[in-house]
């Protein structure tokens, strides 16, 4: 087993004192980010990304840097559940489904049990996804080495079509938001010919719009404005965690093995096909409700109702890294930010990474195992501390978060213009969120826009403008067909339902 050997080498890379230190630091920062309003996985990682620039210059530093950033992500995935259960406020969109049964449990004084179940479920989901990444990603990477521009474009197409078809938001709003991302990506320098476009004579626009700034504005500032509307006070339940509660919950959990397996399958699938963690958690909750013996009592504080979405969202969030590492196509906004980090450090994401940067890739995969164990330990022991942080008044926390967001936006390119753009994106994020324009497609299109355009134009040059190139062989053809099917999925599902009713 070549993978096992590579993984063991990866553990050797990841298991240095320095890396372990940054791992715990990342997890603690991540949980904090997941708990605080206005900071989430995507913008949290984006803000802290500039801190790794100097770190990545040292030998082996890129591995430490990615361990730090990915652990922030794991921490945020764990941390989202804390606010859902204790405060009935989902810290992250993917933990909305956790509030359904988690908050009733907290109201009944079973917060400790709910939190233990949620953290353990998160850990299980992430673990399944990491095992899948370990064994599946080398295969996909090898396969993808033979990809040319048409294949890459069909992967992009699949990504974007999946978003529109799987989205819970109105399809035309998803389309508009995604295409807006492409438009913003096209501003600046044309990557194929090197000519300038759409800068309208402004030097500020020469570099185009930076997606990290967009992420910080849309998710960070936008989220703070939304939180403000709801009022400034948090009222939460107390969590009493003790070893006894943890042990008792663990004794109960194996009963839900079927739910856990089903949810992790949903999560892994939705994470790789970029449906994202949020729909995965809802889907897993719905399935668990349908198949559970006491499904009708869901929503009143069932442990199973906490396990199902938490397994799924962590499995999805983690497996979103699989397409990022193997194809250079991120499955979620946070994965997109990590991808941006890789590019800034001078690594080219994609199949070649597995050959040229073996140490980096396997160090990262090994750190996923270790990081999730570290995460479980940190969240189980530190919940009261994090809950206490949430009780600090919003009028103290909010300005500090805004200042940190501004610093994050500035440091990406040392440009003050980016701080202004952050405010603009913040207002846009606030309006978009309220009008159900999804933000994730915009961010992904902004990240992938240049590459998608380049691969499209290179393909068109290859075929001299013949679109049938995208159906020219089995691989490209099946991916393009799948993309079209996913795009029209809501219509197909509707038609199928009508046909069955007849």
Q: Residues interacting with another protein, by CB under 8 A?
A: 50-51, 53-54, 170, 172-173, 175-176, 179-180, 182-183, 186, 190, 192-193, 195, 197-198, 200, 221, 224-225, 228-229, 232, 393, 395-396, 398-400, 402-404, 406-407, 410-411, 414, 416, 419-420, 422-423, 426-427, 430-432, 434-435, 437, 453, 456-457, 460-461, 465
Residue 228 vs 475, nearer CB to another protein:
228
3-state secondary structure of 75: helix
Minimum distance between the CB of residue 85 and another protein, rounded to whole angstroms? 27
Distance CA 344, CA 56 (A): 9
Distance CA 168, CA 320 (A): 19
Residue 165 vs 375, nearer CB to another protein:
165
Residue 135 vs 172, nearer CB to another protein:
172
- With a CB cutoff of 8 Å and minimum separation 6, the contacts of 261 are none
- The position carrying tokens 């559940």 is 81
The length of the chain, given as a count of residues: 502
Minimum distance between the CB of residue 7 and another protein, rounded to whole angstroms? 31
Minimum distance between the CB of residue 348 and another protein, rounded to whole angstroms? 22
What are 188's strand-pairing partners? Answer: 197
Minimum distance between the CB of residue 443 and another protein, rounded to whole angstroms? 16
Minimum distance between the CB of residue 54 and another protein, rounded to whole angstroms? 5
3-state secondary structure of 31: helix
Residue 78 vs 432, nearer CB to another protein:
432
Minimum distance between the CB of residue 52 and another protein, rounded to whole angstroms? 9
Minimum distance between the CB of residue 465 and another protein, rounded to whole angstroms? 6
What are 189's strand-pairing partners? Answer: 196
Distance CA 77, CA 94 (A): 9
Rounded to 5 degrees, φ, ψ at 213 are: -65, -40
- The position carrying tokens 């004794």 is 251
- The pair of structure tokens assigned to 459 is 């393909």
Residue 197 vs 255, nearer CB to another protein:
197
The count of other CB atoms within 10 Å of the CB of residue 191 is 15
What are 197's strand-pairing partners? Answer: 188
- The pair of structure tokens assigned to 265 is 């399958």
Residue 377 vs 419, nearer CB to another protein:
419
Minimum distance between the CB of residue 21 and another protein, rounded to whole angstroms? 14
- The position carrying tokens 């994020």 is 429
Minimum distance between the CB of residue 200 and another protein, rounded to whole angstroms? 7
Residue 190 vs 359, nearer CB to another protein:
190
Residue 303 vs 404, nearer CB to another protein:
404
Distance CA 324, CA 329 (A): 5
Strands (E), 271-397: none
Residue 300 vs 436, nearer CB to another protein:
436
Minimum distance between the CB of residue 422 and another protein, rounded to whole angstroms? 7
Distance CA 81, CA 102 (A): 8
Residue 4 vs 403, nearer CB to another protein:
403
330, 336 contact by CB (below 8 A): yes
With residue 426 as reference, give the H or E element that holds it.
helix 416-434
Minimum distance between the CB of residue 407 and another protein, rounded to whole angstroms? 6
3-state secondary structure of 261: helix
Residue 183 vs 485, nearer CB to another protein:
183
Minimum distance between the CB of residue 419 and another protein, rounded to whole angstroms? 5
The set of long-range contacts for 146-150, using a CB threshold of 8 Å and a minimum separation of 24, is 147/327, 147/351, 148/459, 148/462, 149/454, 149/455, 149/456, 149/458, 149/459, 149/462, 150/455, 150/459, 150/462, 150/463, 150/469, 150/470, 150/472, 150/476
Query: Is residue 205 classed exposed, middle or buried when 0-12, 13-18 and 19+ CB atoms within 10 A define those classes?
Result: middle
Q: Which of 490, 477, 450 is nearest to 168 (CA)?
A: 490
Residue 193 vs 242, nearer CB to another protein:
193
- The pair of structure tokens assigned to 49 is 């990304």
3-state secondary structure of 437: coil
3-state secondary structure of 150: helix
């Amino acid at each position: 087993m070549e993978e096992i050997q590579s993984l063991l080498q990866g553990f050797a890379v990841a298991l240095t004192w320095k890396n372990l230190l940054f791992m715990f630091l990342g997890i603690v920062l991540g949980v904090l980010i997941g708990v605080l309003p206005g900071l989430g996985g995507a913008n949290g990682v984006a803000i802290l990304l500039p801190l790794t620039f100097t770190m990545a210059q040292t030998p082996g530093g890129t591995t430490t840097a990615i361990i730090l950033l990915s652990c922030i992500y794991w921490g945020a995935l764990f941390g989202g559940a804390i606010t859902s259960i204790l405060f009935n406020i989902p810290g992250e969109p993917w933990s909305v489904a956790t509030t359904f049964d988690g908050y009733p449990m907290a109201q009944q004084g079973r917060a400790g049990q709910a939190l233990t179940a949620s953290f353990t479920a998160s850990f299980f989901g992430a673990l399944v996804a990491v095992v899948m990444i370990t064994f599946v990603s080398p295969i996909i990477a090898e396969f993808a080495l033979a990809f040319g521009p048409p294949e890459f474009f069909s992967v992009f197409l699949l990504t974007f079509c999946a978003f529109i078809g799987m989205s819970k938001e109105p399809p035309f709003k998803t389309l508009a938001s995604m295409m807006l991302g492409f438009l913003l990506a096209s501003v600046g320098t044309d990557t194929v010919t090197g000519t300038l476009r759409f800068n309208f004579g402004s030097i500020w626009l020469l570099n185009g719009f930076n997606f990290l700034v967009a992420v910080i504005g849309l998710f960070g500032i936008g989220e703070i404005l939304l939180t403000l509307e709801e009022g400034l006070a948090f009222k939460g339940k107390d969590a009493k965690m003790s070893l006894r509660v943890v042990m008792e919950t663990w004794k109960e959990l194996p009963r839900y093995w079927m739910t856990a397996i089903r949810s992790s399958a949903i999560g892994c699938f939705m994470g790789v096909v970029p449906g994202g963690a949020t729909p995965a958690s809802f889907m897993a909750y719905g399935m668990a409700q349908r198949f559970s013996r006491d499904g009708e009592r869901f929503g009143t504080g069932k442990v199973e109702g906490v396990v199902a979405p938490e397994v799924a969202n962590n499995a999805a969030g983690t497996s979103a890294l699989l397409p990022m590492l193997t194809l250079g196509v991120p499955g979620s906004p946070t994965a997109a930010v990590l991808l941006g980090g890789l590019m800034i450090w001078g690594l080219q994401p994609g199949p070649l990474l597995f050959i040229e940067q073996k140490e980096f890739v396997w160090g990262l995969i090994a750190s996923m195992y270790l990081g999730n164990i570290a995460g479980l330990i940190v969240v189980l022991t530190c919940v009261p501390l994090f809950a206490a942080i949430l009780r600090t008044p919003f009028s103290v926390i909010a300005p500090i978060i805004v200042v940190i967001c501004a610093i994050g936006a500035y440091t990406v390119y040392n440009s003050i213009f980016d701080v202004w753009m952050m405010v603009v994106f913040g207002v846009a994020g606030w309006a978009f969120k309220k009008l159900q324009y999804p933000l994730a497609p915009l961010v992904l299109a902004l990240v992938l826009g240049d590459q998608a355009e380049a691969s499209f134009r290179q393909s068109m040059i290859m075929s001299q403008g013949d679109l049938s190139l995208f159906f020219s062989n089995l691989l490209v053809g099946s991916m393009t067909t799948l993309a079209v099917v996913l795009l029209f999925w809501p219509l197909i599902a509707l038609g199928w339902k009508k046909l069955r009713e007849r």
